[in-house]
Structure 1
């Protein structure tokens, strides 16, 4: 089960989507919805906090890529934040970090 919390800062410029749990075929739709809602809010920047993500599979990677592309199409900055070492390794191997900014 994935838990997500979406928050908008006071001036509406930053939306943070905090994900928790495992992002896989069973939970990926929740991630897609959360990222879609974040993009629809039209902030200047979306940060996906992955600190509490224990695992991500190819469907989860696809959801992140889709969210990134939708944000880019709306001129919204998109970045990932604080992935665990295991998740970061998957992000590196997938090549996603070549196009999406990550903060430690």
Structure 2
């Protein structure tokens, strides 16, 4: 069994999905499910907190892109928050930061 890499917290009309550890082929399904659940709740804003993410691979990036697109289709404000320097570099190289706002 893989370690839990997501947690979901609702505060009014803002939902935060906190990710931790390594987001890769072994854990990406948890990310997809958490983002899907968050979008289904139709918050005004969805924040993906990445402060505790050590690594993200292409499958993790794909899950973020999919979550962003689903949120956008529902007119939900989707943001990434607090990625580490290394994770921010991966997000930048992927081009994701050109379309998804990042909170400090």
**Do the two structures share a fold, i.e. TM-score over 0.5?**
yes
* Aligned counterpart, 1:49: 49
Please give the per-residue CA displacement for 1:22-60, whole angstroms capped at 9, x wherever unaligned: 000010000000000000000000000000000000000
Map 1:52-71; keep pairs closer than 5 Å.
Answer: 52-71=52-71
| 1:84–1:2 Cα change, 3 Å | farther
Alignment CA distance shift 1:58-1:2 (3 Å):
farther
Alpha-carbon shift at residue 4 of structure 1 (Å): 1.2
Kindly indicate whether residue 101 of structure 2 is the aligned counterpart of residue 101 of structure 1: yes
Is the 1:2–1:19 contact (alpha carbons within 8 Å) kept by the matching residues of 2? no
Q: Note the residue ranges of structure 1 that are not aligned, 5 or more in a row.
A: none
Unaligned residue ranges in structure 2 (runs of 5+)? none
Q: Counterpart of 1:7?
A: 9
Shift of 1:5: 1.1
What's the offset of the Cα at 1:2?
4.3
TM-score (norm 1): 0.96
2-structure distance, mates of 1:30, 1:8: 18
* Aligned length in residues: 102
Aligned-residue Cα RMSD (Å) equals: 0.7
**Offset at 1:94?**
0.3
Q: Is the 8 A contact 1:2 1:23 kept in 2?
A: no
